[in-house]
Amino acid sequence: MWIAVLLAFVLFFFMARYLAKDENKHMTELENKRYLENPLPISINEIEVNTPKETYNFNVVGMKYRPISTKKFIDNLEGCEPVTLKPEPRNQYDKNAIKVLVYDDAKMKDTFIGYVPADEAIEIGQIINDNPCYKASVQNVFCDLDDDYFSISIEINY
């Protein structure tokens, strides 16, 4: 008698699992069908609003005053790295100064590589204030550690 109850229980358990798998398969097929009927959850107008429309390019200055560890970091930059532009209103030399920071994976923090040129700082400050979703990235890097010469161009998309 116990064997029959145990056998019925095992049979019930496996049938329930089989039916659950079949139900999950059916739900996945329904979700796929719904996605194919309406693949974009947002409208084209929303995409256009979030797409950067303008760019601004500048060259970083002040890199020769950075420590040797930062210069070696700059020497290893390849381009396309994201950049953070951080206004520095308490800078003793220029209240419009903007730091240029690049994330260093090894240190797991941003590395200060230089500044936005003083004659472009007001305009770039306005761009980053008016466009909080701006994206800035390294475009070109030239580094000569022996001659202490550096050139980095940055592109801002907003």
pLDDT tens track, the chain, 158 positions:
767 665 565 555 555 555 454 444 545 555 555 545 555 555 555 555 556 689 999 999 999 999 999 999 999 998 899 999 999 999 999 999 999 999 999 999 999 999 999 999 999 999 999 999 999 999 999 999 999 999 999 999 99
pTM: 0.67
The DSSP string of the chain is -HHHHHHHHHHHHHHHHHHHHHHHHHHHHHHHHHHHHS--SS-HHHHHHHS---EEEEE-B-GGGS-HHHHHHHHT--S--EEEEEE-TT-SS-TT-EEEEEEETTTTEEEEEEE--HHHHHHHHHHHHH-TT-EEEEEEEEEETTTTEEEEEEEEE-
Q: From CA 47, how far away is CA 18, in angstroms rounded?
A: 43
Amino acid at 42: I
